[in-house]
Amino acid sequence: MLRPRAAVPVMVALVGAIMVACAYQIGDNPSNEPGAQDATTQDENGRAVAPGVVRERERTPSPTPLPRDSEGNVILPCNDILVPVDKEHRLPADCTPAELVALPAYAVNEPQYLTPQAADAFMVMAGEAEALGLEFYAASSYRSYWEQADIFASNVEQHGFEEASRRSAQAGHSEHQLGTTTDVVTPPTWSLSGFYGTPEAEWLANNAWRYGFIVSYPPDSEHITGYIYEPWHIRYVGPEVANAVHHSGLTLGEYLHAIWW
């Protein structure tokens, strides 16, 4: 994998960021929250972490050890929205979300499906953005393992394996299989490439976390994530975790690795 494993710097940044994040309530000034910086607890290693993060980890403890496939990839458990899906960690082929709902609006192409929590958050986010004069729509949301296999094969055919691996995930390694991730587009181009540099892309980068979403593959991070900058690719992790990721300075993958293991 292309992501360097600088464990100590990442963990130091993570701990500091989570403690800062505890002082924030989404969209509020931390000065309005007396004592918020004291609202921390500790994980099993004695590190100060946000209470919401601890609750998530206690709810879905990581099995030890996790199984690996024939290529050495770690096989992640299904239906945990915080699993670190990446080039070395994948979902089982038969992993599908426990429940998916079709977005009633702000969707293009064909019906777009997300988990209920992600769908509700996306609708609120898109609606509030629209009130500011911004338009974006879900264009590619939940994908099965086999749909992702077809997409990756098509990219390999068009671009070759190396370039395809920068632009898309192999089957099982896509965050779209979680049902909490969507790609978004905006008029007039209605294309992913047309989303670069738009006001909508800038707004999402600065505000998606307020609704529980994070841009998974930010600019200048391909050496960490293994993927090109994708301003259109957002993943729902819930408001508390998204808040902590945003204030950590880490990529989503770095943050999830640090809290998940």
**Are β-strands 113-114 and 101-102 bridged in parallel, bridged antiparallel, or unpaired?**
antiparallel
**List 56, 200, 230, 240, catalytic entry:** 230
Residue with tokens 């490439």: 193
Closest CA to 208 of 230, 186, 236, 227: 236
- Residue corresponding to tokens 């819930």: 238
User: Is 147 marked active-site?
Assistant: no
Choose among 165, 206, 172, 200: nearest CA to 184. Answer: 200
- CB atoms closer than 10 angstroms to residue 120: 16
Q: How far is residue 55 from each of residues 47, 74, 118, measured CA to CA in Å?
A: 14, 24, 19
- Would you please indicate which residues are annotated as catalytic (active-site) residues? 230
